[in-house]
A and B are shown apart, each in its own frame.
Chain A
Amino acid sequence: MPGTRVISEGLFVIEADGPRLLAGRCAACGKLHFPAAPVCPYCGADGALETRVGPAARLCLYTAVLSRPPGYRGEVPYGFGVAELEGGLRVIARLTESRLERLRPGLALRLVVEPLCTDDDGTAILSYAFRPDEA
C-alpha cells in the first residue's frame, strides 16, 4: 500500500486533538516565528525554543489562486491567505476553501494536515492548511 510523506520535516506535528505548527519562540524577545529556526528573525538572538501552536486560528487576509504556481501539483483553485494563531503568530498558508464568499476577515479557522497531491509511485504528500471552523 502506498505510503505518505510530509512536505517538509519540522513544519507540523499531529496531536490527539489536531495538528500543531512547529513555531519557534525567542528566549530573548519572546516573539514567535514559523518555521522554527535556531536564530530569532526578529532580534537575532540564539536559542529559540520550539513551541507547538494551533490548531485554532483566525483569518486575516485571503485570496484564491486560480492557476498552478511553479512547483505546485495540488488542485486549483485553492485558497491562500494569512492566518493568525495564538500568541500573534501570523503565517501565510493554503486555505481549503477557495470560494471567497465563504471567507471573511476574522473568520475562525482550524489547522488541518491533509494530502496535497500524490507522487508517481502513489505516495501521498501531506501538507498543512487552514479550513473554516464550522463548530
Chain B
Amino acid sequence: MRPVYVAGVGLHPFGRFAEKSLTALGTHAVRAALADAGVGRGGFGAAFCGSVYGGVAAGHKVLTALGLSGVPIVNVEAGCASGGAALALGATAVASGRHDVVLVFGLEKMPRGIIRSSFFEPWREEAGLAATPAYFALRAQRLMLESDVRLEDLARVSAKNHRHGVANPYAMYRKALSVEEILASPVVCEPLRLLMLCAPNEGAAAVVLSARPTPVRVAAAALRSHHAGSVLGEHTPLSGLADDGVPTPTEMAAADAYAEAGLGPGDLHLVELQDTDAAREILSAEELGLCAKRGGGRWVRDGGGEMASRLPVNPSGGLLSKGEPLGASALGQIVELSWQLRGAAGPRQVPGAQVALAHTVGRGANACVVILTR
C-alpha cells in the first residue's frame, strides 16, 4: 500500500438554503475541491459520494451536472459517518494503486423537524420508539450515572463549541452562548436542552485524494461497525445495552487508526469529533483516548478541548455550531483539518498543527476515524 495525500478540499457552508438544490450544493463543493487540487476533467479515476437522504444516484447527479461523469461513481450511506466511509473507500482506492487520484464528496439536505428514518421498522415508529433525541438522552443519562459528568458540564461543552464557531464562516450558528443560556433553553429530552443538540441542516464537502505527495497526508482512515448488543454505544434498536467490556465502534476504529498511523492520542494537535449532542462529545473524547475513561467530566471542567488547551477539540465549532448535514459532516471535518494542517484556518488556526484526528459515528452503528498528518 502506498501513501495517500489530500490534494484539494472544498466546502459549501452548512445551513439552510431553500433556494438551492442538493445537486447545486454538491457542485459548489466539488468545483472548489477540484480547483484547489488543480484537477480538471479526466483528472480523477473514481468518485465516492456520501449521502443519507440524497436519494437515488445523488453523486451521479452532481458529476453529471459538471460534465465529469464517465468514471466509476459510488454512492455511500453509513448514517452520520457516510462521508467518512466514502473517504475510507477513496483512500483505499489510491493506496492500493487502483487509482492515482480520486474525488470524495458528501452532500445533504436534511428534512425538517424530527427526521423519519427507514432504520426503524414501522411498528417501532408506531410504538413511539423512533424518538431519536430520546436515545441521545439515554446515552447522556448513562454517562452521568456512570461517571461524575454533570448537567453543567454538558452546557460547558456546548458553550465551548459555540464560542469556537463564532470564527467559522461556514458554520450555521455563529453566536457565543453562555452556560446559563444553554441551561435555560427548553428541555428536548431530559437531561438534554435544545442548545445541547446539533441541528440537522444542509451542506456539502469535497476532498481530492492523490498518490502524489502534498503537505497533508492521510495517515489512517478506519471504519468499523458495532459488536452485537452494543445498543447504547449508538442508537441501535437491537436488544440491550452494551455489555461491559464490549468495545464500541469508535474504540475499535480509533485503535485501528492509531495502529495504522503509528500514533497515539498524545501525538494529536487537534481533533474534530462527533458532537451531535454535548454528551456525545464527552463520550467521544473518552472513547478516542483524549481523556481517561469516566474522566470526561473532569476533562471538561479542566478546560479540555478549549482553543487554549493542549488539544483543541472542535475548533470549527463542531456540529453544535455548524449543524449536521449527514452525508457532508465527516468530510467537512476533513476539509477543516486540511486547512488547519496547511496553516490556512485563519482565526481558527491551531498554531503549529501537524497531527489531526477526525471522528464520526453513524446509525448502524458504525464509526470512522481519520488521522491526517503534515
Task: Give the interface of A toward B (CB within 8 A).
Answer: 7-8, 11, 31-34, 41-43, 60-67, 69-74, 78, 80-82, 88-94, 100, 105, 116, 125, 127
CB distance from B134 to the nearest CB of A (A): 5
Are the CB atoms of A90 and B241 closer together than 8 Å? yes
Are the CB atoms of A72 and B189 closer together than 8 Å? no
Partner of B128 from A74, A88, A105 at Cβ < 8 Å: A74
Are the CB atoms of B123 and A8 closer together than 8 Å? yes
* A-B CB proximity, top 3 nearest: A71-B125, A90-B240, A8-B123
Q: Which residues of A contact B237 (CB under 8 A)?
A: 92
CB distance from B365 to the nearest CB of A (A): 13
Are the CB atoms of B238 and A41 closer together than 8 Å? yes
Are the CB atoms of B138 and A61 closer together than 8 Å? yes
Q: List 5 A-B pairs, Cβ < 8 Å.
A: A33-B238, A33-B239, A70-B115, A80-B138, A90-B240
Are the CB atoms of B129 and A93 closer together than 8 Å? yes
Q: Which residues of B contact A64 (CB under 8 A)?
A: 189-190
Give Cα A24–Cα B276 distance, bound, in whole angstroms: 33
Q: Which residues of B contact A90 (CB under 8 A)?
A: 231, 239-241
Are the CB atoms of A92 and B137 closer together than 8 Å? no
B126 CB-CB contact with A under 8 Å: yes
CB distance from A73 to the nearest CB of B (A): 7
Are the CB atoms of A89 and B130 closer together than 8 Å? no
Are the CB atoms of B128 and A91 closer together than 8 Å? no
Residue of A nearest to B231 (CB): A92
B145 CB-CB contact with A under 8 Å: yes
Partner of B228 from A42, A89, A92, A116 at Cβ < 8 Å: A42
Residue of A nearest to B113 (CB): A70
Are the CB atoms of A65 and B128 closer together than 8 Å? yes
Per-residue contact bits, chain B 138-157, to A (CB 8 Å; 1 contact, 0 not):
10011001000000000000
B7 CB-CB contact with A under 8 Å: no
Give Cα A125–Cα B127 distance, bound, in whole angstroms: 10
Give the one of A33, A34, A42 with max B CB within 10 A. Answer: A42
CB distance from B266 to the nearest CB of A (A): 33
Q: Which residues of A contact B132 (CB under 8 A)?
A: 69
Give Cα A105–Cα B115 distance, bound, in whole angstroms: 29
Give Cα A41–Cα B246 distance, bound, in whole angstroms: 14
Given contacts A61-B141, A71-B122, A72-B125, contact A32 B239 (CB under 8 A): yes
Give the one of A7, A71, A88, A125 with max B CB within 10 A. Answer: A71
Are the CB atoms of B128 and A41 closer together than 8 Å? no
Q: Which residues of B contact A127 (CB under 8 A)?
A: 126-127
Q: Which residues of B contact A93 (CB under 8 A)?
A: 129
Are the CB atoms of B228 and A41 closer together than 8 Å? yes
